[in-house]
Chain A
Amino acid sequence: MIRTPAGRLFWARRLAQMVLVVLSIGTVNFLLLHLAPGDAAQVLAGESGSASPEYLAALRRQFGLDRPFPVQFGHYILRLVTFDLGFSHRQGLPVATLILDRLPATLLLMSASIGLAVLLGGALGFLAARRAGGLADALISGLALLFYATPVFWVGLMLTVVFAVWLDWFPVGGMRAIGATSGPGAILDIAHHLVLPPTTLGLFYMATYTRLMRASVLDVQDRDFVRTARAKGLADGRIAWRHVLRNATLPIVTTVGVQVGSILGGAVLVETVFSWPGLGRLAFEALFQRDLNLLLGILFLSSILVGVANLAVDLAYARLDPRIGLQG
C-alpha cells in the first residue's frame, strides 16, 4: 500500500490530519482549562478550596501556569505531543497510565457492541427489505424506530431490572466476578459479564443499521446487476448473498466509521450503568472527583482513538469496494 505513489500520498495526508487533530484538541483542552471558573491550578487540583497553597504552587510550576499565556500554550502542546498528559492527584497515577489501563475494557465493550449492532441490524434490515411492506417488515421497522428513540442508559437500567434482578441470569455489573480464577474459566466469566453491556449499547446502533440496511437493500436489489444475476439463472439465495448483501453493506461500513465517536460516548453511559471498568467509567469517576485534567486527557485520547478507527474503516472500505482507492 505504501509503495505506490497514491498510497504514499494517502498515508502522508492521514499523518498530517492526525497531527492536526492532536494540535487542535490540545488547543480545545487548553482553552477549556482556562475557561473554567477559578484559576487553572485550582481546576487541576479539583474540588477548589480543599487544596493546600503549597500544592497549588507546585501545580502552577509543574504546568508552567506562572508563565505568560503563549508560553503556557506552547508547553501544553509540547507535553501532549510527547504523550505526557499530566498526573492525576486524585488517583495517584499518571493520566496516561490510567487511561491505557482502562482502554482494553472499553475496546472490548465497543467491539462487542459494534459487532452485535452490525450483525443483528444488518440481518434484520435485510429481512425487512426482503419482506418490504409485509408484517415482518412492519414489525422490524417499528422495533428499530423504538430502539432508535430509547436512551442508552435507560435501556441498561431496564435490562438490569429484568435480566439481572428478576431473572438473575446475568451479573448486575462489573467485568469479572470477585475472586474469579484465571484460564478458560476467566474467559467464560468475562463473557458472562459481557452480555448486558454490549446489548445495551448495541441496541441503539442496531436500530440505526437496521434502518440503513433496509434502505440500502431496497436500493441495491433494483440495480441492473441484480437483474443480470437473475438472468444468469442464479438461485435467489445466492443472488441475495453474493450480489445484494455485498453491495448493500458498503454504506453500513461508512456509517460505522462516522459513528465511532458517538459509540464511544455511549460507552461512557453504559460503563457507568454496569460499572464496566473502562474509559467511560474512568471519565465518570473523573467527573465526580472534579479531576478535570484526567477528563480532558480522556477526551484527548478518545479523539485519537476515533481518528485511528476512521483510518481502519477507510482501509476496510477500500478492500470491500474495488472502485475506491486510498484517497487523502
Chain B
Amino acid sequence: MSGPADAFARAPLLLSVLHRPAGAAGLAVLALVGLAALSAGLLSPGDPLDMVALPFLWPGTDWAHPLGTDMLGRDLAAGLLHGARVSLLVGIVAAVIALGIGVGAGALAGFYRGRLDAVLMRATELFQTIPPFLFALAIVAVLQPSLTTITLAIGVTAWPSLARIVRAEVLALRDGEMVQAAVAIGASDARILLLHVLPNVLGPVLVSASILVATAILTESSLAFLGLGDPNVVSWGGMVGAGREVLRTDWYVAALPGLAIVAVVLGLNLLGDALNDALDPRRMRR
C-alpha cells in the first residue's frame, strides 16, 4: 500500500483473472450474453413481444424458431436475446447507483469518522433492517414499474453492505503512512480521498461490483416475475412469470428464460470469485 499507483501496478489483473478457470469461464459467459444483447436487433429484428408463429411451438420443432414459441406465439429465442439487454442494462446501472451511494457513504464515514460516521452508519443499519427486496418492491409499486423506477429501486436498496466494506477499508487506510504523509504536505481532503484513499479500495469494490450486478439482475427478474416489470420491454423474469401459467403442460416456456438468468448470474459470481482470488493471493493457498 505505497501509493495510488499501487492499485494499478497489478494491472495484469485481467490476465490474472483469465488465468483462473473460474475467471475465464465467467468472462466467457458474460461475453456471450453481452454479444447476445448487442446483436439482438440484428439476429431477431422487430418487437420480441409480437406474435410471429403458432403458439406452443416446442423447442427444436421449427428451425425458424429454434427455442419455440410461448402461448401467445412469441419467439422465445428473440425474447431471450432482447431480454439480455434489459437484464444487463438494469443490472449494471443499478449496480452503478449502489456503488455510488455505497462507496460515497462508506468513504465519507471512514474518512471523517466522528459524528458523520455515526449518522451514516445508523442510516446504513436502518437500510439493512428494511428487507431489500420488499423495499424495492414497494418503491416500484408506488412509482409504477418502468425501467427507470426499477433500476432506481434496486440501486437505492442494494448499497448497505458495500458501504460497510468500504468504510472498514478506508478506516484502515486513514491511519496509514500514505494518507498521513498527504495530510502532512497539506493536500486537500478531496484530493486525499480521490487520489490516495479510493484507488486503494478499488480491489474490494471491484469484487463487490460483480456481486452487485448479479444481485441486481436477480432482483430485476424477481420483480418482473411478480408482474412488476416494465410492460413495454421483454424481461427474462417476466417471461418466467408468463410461462408459469402453462407450467403443467409447456414447462419449457418458464424453464428457458430461467436458465438464461442462471447463466448470467453464475458468470458474474465466477468472475467475482476469480477477482477475489486474484486480488487477495493470501486466500489462494488452497
A271-291 toward B: CB 8 Å interface, digit per residue (1/0)? 011000000000110011010
A220 beta carbon closer than 8 Å to chain B: no
A212 beta carbon closer than 8 Å to chain B: no
A226 beta carbon closer than 8 Å to chain B: no
A93 beta carbon closer than 8 Å to chain B: no
A160 to B225, CA, bound (A): 16
Interface contact A151-B133, CB-CB below 8 Å: no
A35 to B225, CA, bound (A): 24
- Known A158-B258, A165-B247, A287-B228; contact A303-B270, beta-carbon cutoff 8 A: no
A266 to B219, CA, bound (A): 10
A43 beta carbon closer than 8 Å to chain B: yes
Which of A37-65 touch B at CB < 8 Å? 37, 43
Min CB gap A286→B, angstroms: 8
A10 beta carbon closer than 8 Å to chain B: no
B20 beta carbon closer than 8 Å to chain A: no
- Known A36-B143, A149-B214; contact A262-B131, beta-carbon cutoff 8 A: yes
Which secondary structure dominates chain B's binding surface? helix
Which of A112-150 touch B at CB < 8 Å? 132-133, 145-146, 148-150
- Known A151-B218, A157-B240, A299-B135; contact A306-B130, beta-carbon cutoff 8 A: yes
Which of B129-160 touch A at CB < 8 Å? 129-135, 137-139, 141-144
B72 beta carbon closer than 8 Å to chain A: no
| Max chain B C-beta neighbours (<10 A), residue from A35, A149, A161, A302 | A149
B255 beta carbon closer than 8 Å to chain A: yes
- Please give the number of chain A residues whose Cβ is less than 8 angstroms from any Cβ of chain B in the complex: 54
Among A151, A265, A288, A302, contact of B221 (Cβ-Cβ < 8 Å): A151
Interface contact A295-B141, CB-CB below 8 Å: yes
A290 to B143, CA, bound (A): 11
- Known A149-B214, A157-B240, A310-B129; contact A264-B134, beta-carbon cutoff 8 A: yes
Interface contact A150-B128, CB-CB below 8 Å: no
Interface contact A151-B132, CB-CB below 8 Å: no
Among A32, A132, A152, A261, contact of B129 (Cβ-Cβ < 8 Å): A261
Contacts of A150 in B (CB 8 A): 258, 261-262, 265
16 pairs of residues in contact across A and B, judged by CB atoms under 8 Å: A17-B125, A21-B129, A145-B266, A145-B273, A149-B214, A151-B261, A153-B241, A157-B247, A157-B254, A161-B255, A218-B286, A262-B133, A269-B225, A272-B226, A292-B138, A299-B138
For the complex of A and B, the 4 pairs showing the least CB-CB separation, nearest first, are A265-B133, A154-B258, A261-B131, A149-B266
B residues whose Cβ falls under 8 Å from a Cβ of A: 122, 125-126, 128-135, 137-139, 141-144, 161, 214, 218, 221-222, 225-228, 237, 240-241, 243-244, 247-248, 251, 254-255, 258, 261-262, 265-266, 268-270, 273, 286
